Amino acid sequence: MAERLKYYIIPLAIVVFAVAAKAQEADSLAVRQTTDSLHVAATDTMRVDSVAVQPKAVPVHPVRTLGKVSVIDTLPTGNDALRIILFNDNTWRYILSEEYKNDPEVFSDHWNTDVTHAYMDVDVNSLPEATAIRLVDSLESYHYPFLGRISSRYGPRRGRPHQGVDMVLKTGDPIYATFDGKVRVSKVAGNYGNLVVIRHNNGLETYYAHLSQRDVAVGDWVVAGQQIGLGGSTGRSTGPHLHFEVRYRGQSFDPERIIDFSTGNLRRDELLLRRRHFSIYAKFEQDFDDEVEAEKQEEAERKAAAAIQYHTIRSGDTLGALARKYGTTVSRLCQLNNIKSTSILRIGQRLRVR
Ligand SMILES: [Zn+2]
């Protein structure tokens, strides 16, 4: 019994510490930022225990701008699922350990650091009709890449596909990582000029082009809000601007689908990415009027078909109890997560329950 108790109490203490630390972080944020950010941090904390699919689009405010920092160390926490990263400006963040990420292959499958586009062999028609992509959660956050006047939107332009959004800037303006992730490309890449490509934990890739300076190297882990370079006009460019792309398995879609560049907010914490969104003609603004109607339909479809739901393990959770809670079976849980019914659950571990 004592052994069992120890097993529960130590991780629980870590979670309590994590929540307390988050709250403290929120306090210090309030000093430096608006109350909006404080609100996000609080929501963040509340969502620690269960991560469910949220069909309603709730805007997510950017996290604190980290600026030009680098990771000086990564520390274990006593909880396998969580690590602490230390930056050279004396700040730190929790990150989810690699082995606890949703898709453990995200940083090995098609991980090619030599080419600009790593998924050239993936046919768009081989992708599911709809994919639910979690953009932020209790550990992973968001920051806009840059905020400026949009000079060119996603879509066909002079007979060529324009696969991103252009924002006017001054050479030397800082550019930030949009989500946490790992740098796949940092090089001079033809028309893109100085290019950084970051692959994120959810499988999305973001492209930052025409930079005057790159501050990150291939293989670097970066977090949202970290400066990855400076804006410029390198490559095929007629003036200083950021060309920003978002891609899923090589397929670009309108970045305005996830980011509202007028406010800098993320439009929602989860994206239902449909195959039709990968068309160069599928501009977010074009189908905005239909979006509300489509949203309702998608919500219904999502509930029926995709309905992917995750649960983050808390003290005392067992597979049997989770199966009852989510109206499923232990064998289905094991199948969904590729685990055995005898597998030990760890605090903070994220299990797919639907
Ligand atoms: Zn562009």
**Placement of tokens 């690590």 in the chain:** 83
50 alpha carbon – ligand 1 mean position (Å): 38
Q: Are 334 and 285 within one domain? A: no
261 alpha carbon – ligand 1 mean position (Å): 15
- 75 lies in some domain: no
186 alpha carbon – ligand 1 mean position (Å): 18
288 alpha carbon – ligand 1 mean position (Å): 22
Q: Are 318 and 283 within one domain? A: no
**Exposed, middle or buried, 204 (CB in 10 Å: 0-12/13-18/19+)?**
buried
215 alpha carbon – ligand 1 mean position (Å): 21
- 4 lies in some domain: no
Largest CA distance in the chain: 71
CB 180 within 8 A of CB 201: yes
pLDDT tens, position by position, for the chain (354 residues)?
444 444 444 444 444 444 444 444 433 333 333 333 333 333 333 333 344 444 456 788 888 787 888 888 888 888 877 888 888 887 788 777 766 666 668 889 999 999 999 999 999 999 988 888 888 877 778 999 999 999 999 988 888 889 999 999 999 999 999 999 999 999 999 999 999 999 998 899 999 999 999 999 999 989 899 999 999 999 999 899 999 999 999 999 999 999 999 999 999 888 888 888 998 887 776 554 455 556 666 666 666 555 678 888 888 889 999 998 888 889 989 988 888 888 888 888 888 888
CATH number at residue 231: 2.70.70.10
284 alpha carbon – ligand 1 mean position (Å): 16
Q: Are 137 and 247 within one domain? A: yes
Residues spanned by the domain of 330? 309-352
CATH number at residue 328: 3.10.350.10
**pLDDT recorded at residue 2:** 46
At residue 331, what is the residue type? S
269 alpha carbon – ligand 1 mean position (Å): 25
**pLDDT recorded at residue 47:** 37
∠ CA(305), CA(266), CA(38), 5° rounding?
A: 115
Q: Are 190 and 239 within one domain? A: yes
245 alpha carbon – ligand 1 mean position (Å): 8
**In total, how many domains does the chain have?**
2
62 alpha carbon – ligand 1 mean position (Å): 23
Please give the structure tokens belonging to residue 31.
């000093």
**pLDDT recorded at residue 249:** 94
Q: Are 165 and 251 within one domain? A: yes
Q: Are 211 and 246 within one domain? A: yes
- 229 vs 215: CA distance, rounded Å: 5
- 3-class DSSP state of 325: helix
164 alpha carbon – ligand 1 mean position (Å): 6
- 6 lies in some domain: no
Q: Are 216 and 278 within one domain? A: yes
